[in-house]
Amino acid sequence: MEAGARLAFVMPLVVVLLLMIFSLGVRGVDVVVDGGGGGAAAARRRRVEVGVILDRRTWLGNISWACMELAVEDFYADEERASYTTALRLHLRDTRLDAVDAASAGVDLLKNVHVQAIVGPQTSAQAKFLAELGEKSSVPVVSFSANSPCRTASQTPYFIRTAWNDSSQAEAIASLVQRFNWRDVIPVIEDDDSNTRFIPDLVDALRNAEIRVTHRCKIHPSAGADDIKKVVLSLKEKWTSVFVVRMSYQLALSLFKHAKDEGMMGQGFVWIAAYGLTDIFDVVGSPAFDVMQGVIGMKPYVNDTKQLQNFRQRWRKMYKSENPGTTLSEPTISGLYAYDTVWALALAAEKAGYVNSDFLLSEKNNGSTDFDRINTSNAAKKLQSTLLNIDFQGMSGKFQFQDMHLLSMTYEIINIVGEEQRVVGFWTPEFNISRGLNTKADVNEIIWPGGETTVPRGWLFPMNKTLKIGVPAKPGFSGFIKKEKDNFTGLCIEVFEEVLNGLPYKIPHDYVEFGNGKGESNGTYDELIYKVYQKDFDAAVGDITILANRSLYVDFTLPYTESGVRMLVPVQDQRQKTAWTFLQPLTADLWLGTAAFFVLTGFVVWFIEHRTNEDFRGPPVNQIGSVFYFAFSTLVFAHRQKIVNNLSRVLLVIWLFVVLILQQSYTASLSSILTVEQLQPTVTNLDEVIRKGANVGYLNDSFMPELLKRLKIDESKLIALDSPDEYNEALSTGRVAVVVDEIPYLKVFLSKYCHNYTMVGPTYKFDGFGFAFPLGSPLTAEISRGILNFTSSNRMAQLERELYNNRTCPDKDDSQTSSSLTLRSFLGLFIITGASSLLALFLHVVITLYNHRHDLSSASSSQSLWCGWFAILLKIFHEGDRPNAPQLDEPAVSNANTTADTPWSTPDHHIIENVDSGSDVESVREEDREDFVQGPDPPSFAYMHSERGQ
């Protein structure tokens, strides 16, 4: 703002001084073109004086004047405008491009001709002065070629541009760069007033598209061949290979000639010519085509209408007659703008109506300079306001003003191939970059410099450059970085070399140790990163952790190692071997449950076998012992009782399967408890360390102190360590309780000391190791893509195995542990055996009751129903069938009625003599045989136990 204020204050003074010096200055040749024509209608037309300031010695001035002459002729020759009451009269001041000459001509036109508008000037330097004159006199200054001398239209309300706004072209160029994914651009411009507004607009548009402008190259208009060659050589040393060029034709021709000589018009380079330069091919011809092959250009799109074709024919005939030997075959876009400008002024003059020359005397009319004596014109004010509202379809397209410029519409993208300007696409506000005006299709194939059709990547490794790569000194963990004489090895170096070898181009590089020459580091890793930021190193390669604060100074590649920070702690066996260790395999509930099912199974088998199996009969004490002995002997499959009942056999098979599973599980668990150490970490979290006030170890020269301080660990408790051996010594002696470090370092340590230590605690997230490059370096993305490909390869896995000595050490807190077996683990088996036992018991009872249904029915006739049933059931249970004794057909026992109602009475068909298998049935005494004759009622229980019964 201060610079603008100073400029606004100084410029009038400069104008005043110059006009005083050149009060008789060069006014150029006065050429008048009258738009009145001939005839009566033309005689009635009133003249509207318009000044024109051009340099006809330039191609732009010559072409534009020819177009303006044709515009006046065409406009008033049309029968539709025969009734017009006004007619433009053009007063040409053919001056040089010097700003003083233009200002002198402007003063002359205002004072002596009393023009109501000035068309021109050609250059932005001239526009600065004429804009001041226009504001002073309220006369519009209309230019179709010069850029606005300031940023905003409000500062020069009488300066009007009948050309497209440069900001729209900047957006089109930014869209083109973004379309091909180029991330860096270098503008190469002429250092004059023509780019005062264009460059800020271009930079803003590129930044909005997230494209960096890392460097700006300015060339002075008077630069010689040597100066331009130095500029080209400086561009050759840059990484960026995408250039946007905007300058005068002669300067551009020299630039591209030197670029071609230096090999910069070959493969990998991109040259974009902004509008203002793209007309060079129409003006210069073959010399421009020869040195600009593969260049992309931006031009305002002009619809090739029939009207335009007719105009080209008439212009070509007129121009060649006035300029014999010219190579121009058609007017440039600037010439079309000049044509439309005259039409717009003629329309505005007619709409505004005729006003006599009404220049009012200045308040300083008696001043000492011509500048002070310039008058103001109300007619010019009215013409200016009318002109800004003009809207018609001109030769160049739609003619409509927006923010003191013509409304920008569409740009066409040209590609220079041979002697041809190929249209490969368009830029429109609606579709952005596209092949056609009404489609979103991609642009046509572009032939890039060097004749390549493959899109350049937008950067090149600088020619004759060798990267200087900083490598940290790492004596403790040599697996990552190791220096042997002048060679560097280790995981980090191997990964970097493998990635570079995978690139399609070679990158010369040298490793430089960041150390003191004695194998020790010359500073922290943060200091190494800062060396890259200061451009002392072109990159840094090593075990460098990607951190947020470091990324403020460099760009990191993607990580190539495992990320995160954990604790390293000693481990100890948590199991105590005691006299009762044998009980640990099973929990208390499983012990109790197993014992309960042992008893249940033994009871059910005894109950089923009791009636028919002599092994399960006898005194009550013996029977109780049989129950427990049989049940627990199945544990070792040592039961000797003979099983005769099928239900018992089925139940025993199921139970033996359960016993087998229990026995095997118990054996395995007990073996694990007695032989496998249950190693547990001595510390599980940092809170415990803080609470105990123990020391914490960390790797020297790392970022760990900052992390540990954030975790609220006292700085006095931190101890720096340098190597795995120091880790082991500090942990084993108790000098530190834990070591906090990154996972790759801890894995290297555990590959050597796996048995006594483990990693525990939460993983603090960090991004692992990466390579550092200067901010904006294009190598960052290239190396990152290479890392993605390499880390998924077998070669990366091989390097990691070599680093960790082909050993993996699992976390002790997550493995090598053995817990007691619980009841829940065997609940399914117990349910099966329990259900089987109950089912066998139920079936046995049902079958037995069914077989003795007659005895139960006889009990229902007794006086005491319940007592009768109970007696019958006891008798059935205690004196059941004996399939292992012979069945005898004995006569009925006499006098049995006396005991028929006793509770121990037994039906006749259940009385079986227990005869030894080796005895002779005929040896039974006759009297005894008579006593066992079946009577009407069974013998009583007392009789059976009497001497007679025996």
Give the whole-angstrom CA distance, residue 542 versus residue 1: 48
pLDDT in tens, 860-906: 555 455 666 666 666 666 665 544 444 333 333 333 333 333 333 33
pLDDT in tens, 109-138: 998 898 999 998 888 888 888 988 898 889
Model pLDDT, residue 879? 60
pLDDT band (50, 70, 90) for residue 801: confident
Task: Spell out the CATH class of 567-574+679-766.
Answer: alpha beta
Cα–Cα distance, 773 to 529 (Å, whole number): 9
Q: How many CA atoms lie within 13 A of 63 on its CB side?
A: 24
SS3 472: strand
pLDDT in the model for residue 932: 38
The torsion angles phi and psi of 86, rounded to 5 degrees, stand at: -125, 160
Burial (CB < 10 A; 0-12, 13-18, 19+), residue 926, is exposed
What sign does the CA torsion over 359, 362, 367, 372 have?
Answer: negative
When pLDDT is cut at 50, 70 and 90, the band that residue 672 belongs to is confident
Q: Is the pLDDT of residue 727 over 70?
A: yes
Top pLDDT among 536 and 612 is at: 536
Choose the most confident range, by mean pLDDT, from 430-439, 531-540, 749-758.
531-540
pLDDT of 843: 86
Per the DSSP assignment, residues forming a β-bridge with 405 are 402
- Assign 372 a pLDDT band (cuts: 50, 70, 90): low
Most confident of 153-157, 286-290, 590-594: 286-290
Pick the more confident residue, 895 or 143: 143
Give CA separation, 532 vs 212, 500, 737, 776, in Å. Answer: 20, 19, 37, 12
The predicted pLDDT at position 878 comes to 63
**787 near 193, Cβ under 8 Å?**
no
Domain residue ranges of the chain, discontinuous segments joined by +? 46-164+327-362+369-403, 166-274+286-303+411-434, 467-563+769-804, 567-574+679-766, 581-675
Among 273, 279, 276, 275, residue whose Cα is nearest residue 292: 273
Does position 937 have pLDDT exceeding 60, yes or no?
A: no
Residue 51 parent element (H or E): strand 46-54
CATH classification (class only), 46-164+327-362+369-403: alpha beta
- Topology given in CATH for the domain delimited by 467-563+769-804: D-Maltodextrin-Binding Protein; domain 2 (3.40.190)
Highest mean pLDDT among 57-71, 361-375, 477-491: 57-71
**Phi, psi angle pair for 119, to nearest 5°:** -95, 125
List all residues 6 or more positions away from 426 whose beta carbon is below 8 Å from its beta carbon.
301, 410, 411, 412, 413, 433, 434, 435, 436, 437
**Cα–Cα distance measured from residue 757 to residue 812, given in angstroms and rounded to the nearest whole number:** 8
The predicted pLDDT at position 553 comes to 95
Query: CA distances (Å), 553 to each of 214, 533, 776, in order?
Result: 16, 6, 10
Cα 3 to chain centroid distance, Å, stands at 43
Common-topology check for domains 46-164+327-362+369-403 and 467-563+769-804: no
**Cα separation of 472 and 462, whole Å?**
25
CA dihedral 599, 600, 603, 609 (to 10 degrees): -130
Q: Is 403's pLDDT higher than 50?
A: yes
Task: Scan for tokens 């065997």, then name that residue.
Answer: 826
Confirm if 362 and 375 have CB atoms less than 8 A apart.
yes
| Contact present, 737 and 695 (Cβ < 8 Å) | yes
pLDDT surpassing 90 at residue 26: no
Q: Which residue has the higher pLDDT, 367 or 878?
A: 878
More confident of the two residues 574 and 787: 787
Is 60 exceeded by the pLDDT of residue 787? yes
Q: What is the pLDDT of residue 444?
A: 92
Q: Over 70: is that where the pLDDT of 947 sits?
A: no
Q: Can you tell me the mean pLDDT for 40-60?
A: 84
Domain 166-274+286-303+411-434 is found in CATH 3.40.50.2300: yes
Who contacts 54 (Cβ-Cβ below 8 Å, separation ≥6)?
Answer: 61, 64, 65, 92, 93, 94, 95, 120, 122
Q: C-alpha angle with apex 399: 386 to 166, nearest 5 degrees? A: 105
Q: What is the pTM of this model?
A: 0.67
Please calculate the CA angle 679-685-686 and round it to the nearest 5 degrees: 135
Give yes or no for residue 524 having a pLDDT over 60.
Answer: yes
The closest alpha carbon to 184, from 159, 145, 216, belongs to 216
Q: What is the pLDDT of residues 56-80, one digit of tens each?
A: 989 899 999 999 999 999 999 888 8
Cα-based distances in Å from 398 to 77, 162, 406 = 22, 11, 9
What does the mean pLDDT of the chain come to?
80
Asked whether residue 4 carries a pLDDT value surpassing 70, the answer given is: no
In this predicted structure, what is the pLDDT of residue 484?
83
Q: Higher pLDDT residue, 324 or 287? A: 287
Confidence band of 41 (pLDDT split at 50, 70, 90): low
Q: Is residue 176 over pLDDT 60?
A: yes
State the Cα–Cα distance between residues 271 and 449, nearest whole angstrom: 8
Model pLDDT, residue 228: 95
| DSSP, res 515 | B
pLDDT in the model for residue 542: 92
Q: What is the dihedral of CA 892, 898, 899, 902, to 10 degrees?
A: 150
pLDDT the model gives residue 9: 42
The band of 344, judged by pLDDT with boundaries at 50, 70 and 90, is: very high
What percent helix, strand, coil does the chain show, rounded to 5?
45, 15, 40
pLDDT above 90 as % of the chain: 35
Under the banding of pLDDT at 50, 70 and 90, the label for residue 908 is very low
